[in-house]
Amino acid sequence: MNTTKYRRLYRLCSQNFGCRMKGTSSRKWLQRQQSDIYVKMARAENWRCRSAFKLLEIDDKYRILRPGQLVIDIGAAPGSWTQVVCQRTNAAGLDNNSPKGKVISIDLLPISKILGACILDCTDFTSQDCQDKIIQNSDGRKADVILSDMAPNASGMKEFDGRLLVSLVSKVLHFSVNQLVTNGTVLVKLWQGSGCDELSDVMKELFSSVKLVKPKASRDDSREIYFLCQKFKGVVHSSGNS
């Protein structure tokens, strides 16, 4: 047997480049998680993930959530935004002195139970079936606030991933046109890049106020940005009435 040849083959197989790469990047991810102040705070305050602080900061500044509202949270897993929204809209009815809100949370992934939330998990928001279910669960009301923190699985090709997210958000805007109250609010996540400007022009046509927001909890090295669209102009019918 030619042992040199087999030794080389064994060495090549055991290098397992894919795994090494994965190991290094997951180690980096772990190190970053361990030193991240928002991860620590999320654990201490019982939020399901650090993203909670993005919504808390935006809401503390712009006051978009109130008791009694109907809020639709799209791309909600693992559920930290839903936790924040349930608290601030009184969706569980824990505060007897405030109106009870309603929260509908949607994701492709499973979401474990959150007190006060109506969870539509393992479903694709872009499907008609999912959108029909949201409407069925809205008790004949239109939403006061629609949130989208959706993010497609990153392929690593920035331009492609960015376009995919633009397409998801355009579907959120399309849904909002029919399912949002006049003067309602939409908050959506996008990744900076091509397609954003075009979409923000559409937002400006639909809403009286559109702000670009980058909360402190959003990592500096992330291309993620949020568009806060307030004062929905409403659906204009052909007669001119809204």
Ligand X SMILES: C[S@@+](CC[C@H](N)C(=O)[O-])C[C@H]1O[C@@H](n2cnc3c(N)ncnc32)[C@H](O)[C@@H]1O
Nearer to ligand X, 109 or 212 (CB): 109
DSSP state of 108: S
Q: Which of 53, 125, 175, 232 binds ligand X (CB under 6 A)?
A: 125
Residues 6+ apart with CB under 8 A from 35: none
Interface with ligand X, residue 213, by CB under 6 A:
no
Interface with ligand X, residue 150, by CB under 6 A:
yes
Answer yes or no: are the C-beta atoms of 88 and 67 closer than 8 Å: yes
- Among residues 99, 183, 103, 86, the alpha carbon closest in space to that of 137 is found at 103
Nearer to ligand X, 48 or 102 (CB): 48
Q: Is 189 one of the annotated active-site residues of the chain?
A: yes
As measured in angstroms, the least distance from the Cβ of 108 to ligand X is 4
- Among residues 66, 118, 105, 64, the alpha carbon closest in space to that of 89 is found at 66
As measured in angstroms, the least distance from the Cβ of 82 to ligand X is 7
Instruction: Give the span between the Cα atoms of 185 and 64, in whole angstroms.
Output: 7
Nearer to ligand X, 74 or 203 (CB): 74
Interface with ligand X, residue 162, by CB under 6 A:
no
Interface with ligand X, residue 109, by CB under 6 A:
yes
Whether the link from the prior residue into 110 is cis, omega within 30° of 0, is: no
As measured in angstroms, the least distance from the Cβ of 147 to ligand X is 8
By CB neighbour count within 10 A (0-12 exposed, 13-18 middle, 19+ buried), where does 26 fall? exposed
Q: Which of 149, 199, 203, 217 binds ligand X (CB under 6 A)?
A: 149
Answer yes or no: are the C-beta atoms of 182 and 144 closer than 8 Å: no
Interface with ligand X, residue 152, by CB under 6 A:
yes
Active-site annotation holder among 22, 113, 189, 233:
189
Interface with ligand X, residue 49, by CB under 6 A:
yes
Nearer to ligand X, 107 or 161 (CB): 107
Chain centroid to Cα 13, Å, comes to 40
Answer yes or no: are the C-beta atoms of 227 and 212 closer than 8 Å: yes
Q: Which of 77, 85, 120, 228 binds ligand X (CB under 6 A)?
A: 77
User: Which residues are tagged catalytic?
Assistant: 189
Residues in the site for ligand X, rule: CB under 6 A?
48-49, 51-52, 75-81, 106-109, 124-126, 149-152, 168
